[in-house]
Structures are given as structure tokens and as C-alpha cells.
Amino acid sequence: MALIGKIRQQKWLLIGTIAAALILFIGMLAFDKSTNLIGSGSTTVGEIEGEKVDYREFSGTHEMLYSNGGGDGYSDRAYLWNFYVDQAIVKKEADCIGLGVSKAELLDLQFGQDESKLSPIVASRYRNQSTQQLDRQQLDQLKDIITNNKIDQMIKDNQLVADFKYRWAHQEKEIIKDRLQKKITSRVEKGMYTPSWMAEVIDLEQTQTVDMLYVQVPFDEIDTKSITLSDEDYKAYYEENKASFKQKEETRKVEFVALDVKATVQDSADVRKSIADLIPAFKAAENDTVFVESNLGSMDGAYVKKDALPAAIADSVYGMAVGNIYGPYLDGGAFKAVKMLGRKVVPDSVKARHILIKATDQATLIAAQSKIDSLKKLIEAGTARFDSLAVKFSQDGSASKGGDLGVFKPGAMVKEFNDVCFYKAEPGKVYSVITQFGVHLIEVVQRYGGSNGVSVAYISKDVIPSQATQDAVKDIAAEIQEQSKDIESLRKAAAAKGLTTETSTALKVNDYTVGAMPVGQASRDMIRWAFGNDQNIGDVDKGDVSPNIYSFQNQNEFYVNKYVVAGLKSIIPAGTPSWQDMKEEIEPMVINRKKAELVKQQTQGKDLAGIAAQYAVQVDTAAAISFASAFLPKAGNVEPKVVATAFKVDLNKVSEPIVGNTGIFVVMPTNKTNGAATGNIAQIRQQSQMSARGMARNQLIQTLRDHADIEDNRSKFF
């Protein structure tokens, strides 16, 4: 009681303490990058031309569109973000000039009978898989469902996927964006005009030609060790090309050491033993299918000829008795054992007919199966003819021929259909099978020829690094990481283990690949760390080494095949970087320039034959090369600097060395023709305008992106 009394006496102190703690807690959250309670940015993935993109909307749309797509997730998000960007900037431009898409136009774009007026989005997504033609029947069904408000009821009846309405709404946004973009682009294209004076200049450029002799010295012919670069060399090249280095956003480079995880000899021996230990049970198995599935093996029921078996085991396996097993044997990166399941005469070809009922989802599949079962009963009961039912019910091009598919060989049809025709069906009987096209009722009319085939089953296990092997490599990575306080010590620690560091290309904040590393969360985490977006670490300075060890695994592999220790090598700010920031990027070009200077010194006063002999190359010829094309056939590349020099140098004079795209060139023009007007100004104008309009069509949306007001916060969320 005394204690309670004291608390009551000090209640304002207690309340004050609690209030102060709450204020501190709220303040901490406010400045925490992961919550950012100040303002409304906490759930804003980005803002484009004043339109905010909310995290929940963005993630929900991504999940809806790509959850079953099998993509990597990162490129999908980049694609979706670009859609949001393009949609916003196209809408803004369209609003400014009074463009829109009416309801009637939208219906035409989605369901119009004139295929040329359909949106390319619809035309590409609603195609018959077998004919690759527009599936008009499916499109008409969708039109009926949407325009007659049947969506909710069909979702309730499980005839449409639950999120159909949202998927279709997103597709409508895509169609409208695409249509508006085309309208805007069309107006820009129409503004592209080539005046007569420009057409005349183009005419002269196309008719001016030069014949020349030249020597091409490949860059590799000059030993790089003989080249010494100074800061002045870098500065000179940088100043001449400064404008080309400007970048819109900050980039960073990561220097890292990658430790590959490879299976050891012991790992291989252990995998071989695991397969050998399974062989007795494999041989005794009463149900091969269950055993194979339980041990990650494979069998498909097909009967294959000897030449279809792996060459290394074909002789041994083809002669085995049914029930016998061959193995373990190494095939690629896996140990396997193969069991002989059976033998059968496989026809060389068959003549068959079918009835197809198409199915596009679970509901239509159930209906198709029911229809095929009914037709099967009619045929087996003898109350209806196969060909008559095919004409009436089959939903493919063979219907008019009574379902006749003619004569075909193994492999001509999809696997499920093929296996029924060649390994299961007996002439005169009917069989149903499901394929990607729907449900089929099949009758094999006649078999032709035949030879022995065998059915086999495999059990298999990949030779992969064991957990102990992975842990051993990770321990080495951890040792390197512990010794690396900065980039320089990272290099030394790697060298002590016989390893070298690599440097990534310039990375942007939303990139998701680092060098040759596979796309995945590890690559993304490394980039987030480099930009200070790892919430557990915070800001990063140049030279810092990440406290994390990044582990990588290839898609469909369930083990770590690489551990990476990374450091932040450089930060290149937005705008025009300094020559020091660009030193690594420009070094190859600076070296090539120095090589050209060396060639100039070594060839002073020599003719082309002497230069060619000095570098063990030949003197080549080029005839009637125009300034407009600048393509040298024997060099195999467009060389504008070389051709421009040939036009500039006097006839029969040897030029100074020129740094081209594929080597160092020395040229000597032997003949020049002055441009002569052809009089085809109208045709040249048309060609020039088509080229300019094509460039506008290809570059307009990127130009709009470059000038749009965009705040991109994706890196804080993903």
C-alpha cells in the first residue's frame, strides 16, 4: 500500500516519463526509412506527373499479373513501373491536346469485327494456339460476358477466375494507353518534314563516293604493355567526349569477390552411393510409377526405339530383360539408374481421326470432358458414327473431314495425343485424352509398319555440393569478410586466398543484377546495400565493405553455388561526372588512342605496303563508298571516321592513323566522284521523312520519360 501511495504522489512524473518515451518512439519511427510516418510517403512507391502510385495497388497489380508467370519478379516490377510511368505521361500529353478514347472506340479496340482495328494487345493475347489465328469465338464469348454484365454470376459459378474483373480492367488501361500513345505519336510523325534543301544535301551525300586503299591494324596487334597512360591522356579524351558521359541519376559501382561452390569428389561418391542403395528397392518395386515419383525419377510411358535412348547406355539397356536395371552411371551432372519396364512393337505411322472440344479454363474443361464422354458412349454403343459426330461437334479444322487427320509419324502431334495413338490405341476403339487444346476423342483407323520399342524408367540424383561443402566455402567467405575493413583490405584478403575481385558496371538504384551474378534477391540486396537502402545498415560510404555475405543459387537449384563479399567502389553523382569517376570506363578508348599515336610514330614516312608489312596485315580496297553509308565491307563494319577522312585527304595521299570501331586505319583515296543531283528529290524526301518518323516513333516515349516529373521510391520497398 505504501508503494501504491508513493506512485500516486509521483503520478505526474510517471505520466511525463511515459509521454516522453512515446514521443521518442514516435520520433524514431518518423525518421525510420522503413516507416516514414511524416507525410504520406510511407506507402507511396512513386509519384508520376502528380499521380501517386501506392504500394498496395502496385503490389496487388504485380501479384495479379505475374504470380503465375514464372518470371523473376524483378524484371516484372520494372515492366509494371514503366507501364505506370507511360500511362501517366501519355494521359497528361493527351489531356493537353484534347485526345481521348471513347466507349465506342474502346469496344471496337477490344471486340471489333475488323481485325485491323483491334488493339494489338487483344490481337496478340487471344489467339488460337493451334492455328495462331485470332480466336474470334473466345473473343465473342468475352464480349457477351462483359457487355451483358455476366461477370459476377460467372465468378460465383466458378466459370471465371475470381480476379477476372480486375485483370480485364487492367487490360483496358493497357489498351487505352497504347491507343493514346499511337495518336500522340501519329501527330508528332506528321510534323516531321524534310525541306527541299535537306533532300538536295542528302542526294549529294548519296551520290558522292570515294575509292580508296586502306590498311586496318586490329587493336590487339598492338601490345597494351607498350602503352603508358597519364592523367593528361584521360583528361584529353574526357574533355572531347564530356557531353556523352552525362547521366540522369546517380550510379554506384560494387567491387566484389565471388567464391564458387563446387561439388567435391566425396560429394560425387556420396551421390553415386545413394543411387546404388536404391537399386534393390527399384528392382523389387511392384508399382514403378510410385517408386519413381517418390525418388524424383522420370518415366512417361512411351515406347522408344534404340536410337532414342542415350547413346552411352543404348546398347546395354536395349538388350536387358524386362525388370532388370542398369546403373548407377553418370549422365551429365547426375548419377542415374534405368529400369526396363517393357517392350512393344511401335508402328512407324498411323492413320487417325479425332473430335476436339476446346477448353480454356477449369469450367470449360469439365464441360468438354462431359461432352466427350457422351460422344464416346454413343460410338461404343453403335448408335452414332464417328465421322458424323466429328462433323457436328468437333471444334477444329478437321471437322469438315469427319475428324480425319490423315497419316502421321511419331512426334507429329502433342505428346499426350501422340502417346495414345502409338502406344495405347487399338484400331477400331476410341480413347479420350486431354491436351493443351482441350479434350479429344481419338480413333486409330490403321497402323503402318512397326519395330520394337522399349519403355524405361529412371531414378536420378544431381551431383551437387553437400551442405558441408557449402558451409566450408561460406567459412572462407566469412574469413575474407572479417579481414576486410575497406576495399583495399578486401583485395588483399581475396588475393591471400588466390582469388581476385571483380567490378560491376555502373549500377542504378533500382537495378537487380550485378555483373554476371544471377537475377535474384541476393543481387537486389547487394544493390540496396550499396545505395544505403538496407534498413539494417543505413548509409554507405565509398570504400565500405558490406557486413553481409551474399549467397546465390541458380533458378531451379536448391543449393548455394556462390558466396559474395562486396564493397562500394565508387559513387558517381547525377549530372556530368568528373574524369576521375569515368576513368575505368574510358580507359579502353584512351588506350586505343595511344595505340594510334604509336602506329603514327612507327609508320612515319611509310607507304601503305610498308605499313601492312610492318603489322603483318594486307592492303585492302574499297570502291564507291558513299559518305551516307560509310560501310567498309572487308572491315565488316560502319566506319564513319575512316570514310570521312578518306573524303578529306587529297588523292593518293596517305592519311594519319585513324581510331575506328574495329581497329586503327590508314587510308589513301584513289578516286573521288563529286555529287550529282539525281532529280529524285520527292523520293529522297519521302525516304528521309520515313526515317525521321520511324525515329520519332521509337524514341518519343523515352523522350517523354526523360522530361517527366517522376519521383521513384521503389528502392525503399523492393
pLDDT tens-digit readout, 662-683: 999 999 999 998 877 777 888 9
User: Hey, CA dihedral for 237, 241, 242, 247, is it positive or negative?
Assistant: negative
Integer CA distances (angstroms), 61 to 64, 74, 137, 152, 328, in order: 5, 14, 28, 20, 48
Say yes or no to pLDDT of 267 above 90. yes
Torsion over CA of 204, 209, 210 and 211, rounded to 10 degrees?
A: -170
Distance between alpha carbon 631 and the CA centroid of its chain, in Å? Answer: 32
Above 60 in pLDDT, residue 718?
A: yes
Residues 430 and 354 in one domain: yes
Q: Is the dihedral of CA 19, 21, 24, 30 positive or negative?
A: negative
**Does residue 95 sit in helix, strand or coil?**
helix
Q: Measured between alpha carbons, how far is 298 from 283 in angstroms, rounded to an integer?
A: 15
Cβ–Cβ < 8 Å for 522, 534: no
Statement to judge: residues 431 and 476 lie in one domain: no
| 8 A C-beta contact, residue 454 and residue 343 | yes
- DSSP, collapsed to helix, strand or coil, labels residue 423 as helix
- 394 and 482 share a domain? no
In a domain, 308, yes or no: yes
Count of domains for the chain: 6
Q: Does residue 700 fall inside a structural domain?
A: no
What integer best gives the mean pLDDT of the chain? Answer: 89
The CA-based angle 228-234-235, given to 5 degrees, is 140
CB 329 within 8 A of CB 314: no
Contacts of 686 (CB under 8 A, 6+ apart): none
Instruction: Return d(Cα 99, Cα 103) in angstroms, integer.
Output: 13
User: How does residue 130 score in pLDDT terms, banded at 50, 70 and 90?
Assistant: low
Range with the lowest mean pLDDT among 154-163, 165-174, 525-534, 614-623? 154-163
CATH code of residue 593: 3.10.50
Q: Kindly report, residue by residue over 33-79, the tens digit of the pLDDT.
A: 444 433 344 789 999 999 999 999 999 999 998 887 777 789 999 99
User: pLDDT category, 344, cuts 50, 70, 90?
Assistant: confident
Instruction: Using the Cα atoms of residue 196, residue 198, residue 204 and residue 207 in order, give the sign of their dihedral.
Output: negative
Q: Which one has a higher pLDDT value, 134 or 81?
A: 81
The pLDDT tens digits for 631-648 are 898 888 889 999 999 999
CA distances from 568 to 205, 540, 714 (A): 49, 8, 21
Distances in Å between the Cα of 665 and the Cα atoms of 468, 591, 620 are 57, 15, 11
- The three three-digit cell numbers of residue 199, written as one number: 533532300
Q: Which three cell numbers stand for residue 194?
A: 524534310
pTM: 0.74
Please give the Cα distance from 684 to 198 (Å, whole number).
9
Q: Which of these, 502, 587, 585, lies nearest to 224 by C-alpha position?
A: 587
**How many Å apart are CA 262 and CA 466, to the nearest integer?**
9
Q: What is the mean pLDDT of residues 578-586?
A: 91
325 lies in the same domain as 364: no
The answer to whether residue 409 is domain-embedded is: yes
Q: Which residue's C-alpha cell is 537475377?
A: 519
Dump pLDDT digits (tens) for 397-428: 899 999 999 999 988 999 899 989 988 888 88
Question: Which amino acid is residue 627, in one-letter code?
Answer: F
**Distance between CA atoms of 569 and 563, rounded to whole angstroms?**
19
Q: Identify whether the C-beta of residue 585 lies closer than 8 Å to the C-beta of residue 237.
A: no
Name the DSSP letter for residue 594.
H
Contacts of 119 (CB under 8 A, 6+ apart): 109, 110, 175, 178, 179
471 and 556 housed in the same domain: yes
For residues 480 and 531, membership in a common domain is answered with yes
Residue 195's pLDDT is what? 92
Pair 568, 627 in one domain: no
Picking from 128-137, 142-151, 596-605, which range would have the lowest pLDDT averaged per residue? 128-137
Structural domain containing residue 232 = 209-239+583-673
| Average pLDDT of the segment spanning 675-702 | 87
474 and 540 in a single domain? The answer is yes
Which of 395, 422, 448 terminates a domain? The answer is 448
CB atoms within 10 A of CB 420: 20
Residues 6 or more apart whose Cβ sits within 8 Å of residue 568: 252, 253, 254, 255, 487, 530, 540, 541, 542, 543, 544, 545, 546
Q: List % helix, strand, coil for the chain (3-state, nearest 5).
A: 45, 20, 35
Coil, helix or strand for 674?
coil
Q: Give residues with Cβ within 8 angstroms of 564, minimum separation 6.
A: 256, 257, 258, 259, 477, 517, 522, 526, 549, 550, 551, 552
Instruction: Report the percent of the chain where pLDDT is more than 70.
Output: 94
pLDDT tens, residue by residue, 201-244 = 888 888 889 999 999 999 998 988 889 999 999 999 999 999 99
Alpha-carbon dihedral sign for residues 280, 284, 288, 291: negative
d(CA 696, CA 690) in angstroms, rounded, equals: 10
Is residue 681 assigned to a domain? no
CA distance linking residue 283 with residue 274, whole number of Å: 15
User: Which residue would you say has higher pLDDT here, 70 or 694?
Assistant: 694
Q: Which of 555, 557, 473, 567 is closest to 518 using CA atoms?
A: 555
Q: Where are the alpha helices (DSSP H) in 112-230?
A: 120-125, 136-147, 151-156, 164-190, 196-207
Q: Check whether residue 362 and residue 378 sit in a common domain.
A: yes
593 located within any domain: yes
Q: What is the DSSP string of 439-483?
A: EEEEEEEEEE--EEEEEEEEEEEE----HHHHHHHHHHHHHHHHH
Among residues 448, 481, 501, which one ends one of the domains?
Answer: 448
* DSSP state letters, 506-534: PBPTT----TTPPSSHHHHHHHHHHTT--
Specify if 442 maps to a domain. Answer: yes
User: Is the preceding peptide bond at 328 cis, omega within 30 degrees of 0?
Assistant: yes
The answer to the question of residue 708 being in a domain is: no
3-state SS, one letter per residue, for 23-50: HHHHHHHHHCCCCCCCCCHHHEEEEECC
| Residue owning grid cell 516531321 | 192
472 and 566 both lie in a single domain = yes
| Residue of higher predicted confidence among 298 and 484 | 484
Among candidates 697, 611, 560, 605, which has minimal Cα distance to 260? 560
pLDDT-derived band at 377 (thresholds 50, 70, 90) equals very high
300-304, 656-660, 683-687: which range is least confident on average? Answer: 300-304
Element (H, E) at 638: strand 637-638
Give the Å distances, CA to CA, from 622 to 185, 641, 642. 40, 15, 11
> What average pLDDT does range 477-493 have in this prediction?
96
- 442 with 352, same domain: the answer is yes
Report how far residue 90's alpha carbon sits from residue 250's, in angstroms, rounded to the nearest whole number.
Answer: 26
Return the pLDDT at 2.
36
Residue-level pLDDT at 18:
43
Residues 337 and 407 in one domain: no
Q: How confident is the model over 509-530, as a mean pLDDT?
A: 92
pLDDT at residue 364 greater than cutoff 70? yes
Average pLDDT over residues 184-212: 90
Give the CATH number, domain containing residue 422.
Answer: 3.10.50.40
151 belongs to a structural domain: yes
Output 37 or 538, whichever has higher pLDDT: 538
Backbone CA torsion sign across 711, 712, 716, 717: positive
* 538: amino acid identity, one letter: G
